[in-house]
Chains A and B, each alone.
Chain A
């Protein structure tokens, strides 16, 4: 079975400080992992994905994420937060097994960057 946990409903960080949004997953087979961001009254926007290879993945808007197989984690990070990063962030996982069509999403983490 596939599932995603985002243990923090809310993360607050001061502008200019590094930010981390946590994600752990459970999947049969190997994972394909994704991060999405959602701004108010908008759909989800793709940020980055991990498929295979280098555990550190770089994505849009200066975000990166680190895949850790032993800890089954895929935490989202950014070295210096901007006020405009304030949004709702979703982690998602899909199995690499044939027939695994669906993305399983976490419940989201609301990031607030304080000026």
Chain B
């Protein structure tokens, strides 16, 4: 597709359940980022993938959060045993390469609500 695609656009689940969020980056982009946006706050960096390099996981808030990127393209962010504080919009972005002066292109996000 032309842009970054995220699914689902909305997810409502019960506390304690696991959720998977999907990101399909722009074709050919080697860098992929996950962010969390909470109400009234800026973007919180979660994880960064660049090509076949080991991901930068320094932003993951707890071991309940994990992400993978298969085949250097699609990425999945998994949250296990969800808590109410996990409620937020999860944004994915990609760029033609990591770091440097390339802008990131964002998807429309997944709005996650934990009941």
The residues of A with any CB-CB pair to B shorter than 8 Å are 4, 32, 34, 36, 41-46, 49, 51, 90, 94, 96, 98-108
Please list 7 pairs of residues, one from A and one from B, whose beta carbons are closer than 8 Å in the complex, sorted by A's number: A32-B100, A43-B91, A44-B93, A44-B106, A102-B48, A104-B45, A107-B40
C-alpha gap A4/B45 in the complex (Å): 14
C-alpha gap A45/B105 in the complex (Å): 7
In the complex, the chain A residue whose C-beta lies closest to that of B99 is A101
The residues of B with any CB-CB pair to A shorter than 8 Å are 4, 6, 31, 33, 40-43, 45, 48, 50, 56, 59, 91, 93, 98-101, 103-109, 111
C-alpha gap A107/B4 in the complex (Å): 23
Q: Give chain A nearest CB distance to B10 CB in angstroms.
A: 10
C-alpha gap A106/B100 in the complex (Å): 19
In the complex, the chain B residue whose C-beta lies closest to that of A35 is B103
Contact present for B109 and A43 (CB under 8 Å): yes
Contact present for A45 and B106 (CB under 8 Å): yes
* Contacting residues, chain A, for B33 (C-beta < 8 A): 102-103
Q: With A45-B106, A101-B48 as given contacts, are A32 and B101 in contact (CB-CB < 8 Å)?
A: yes
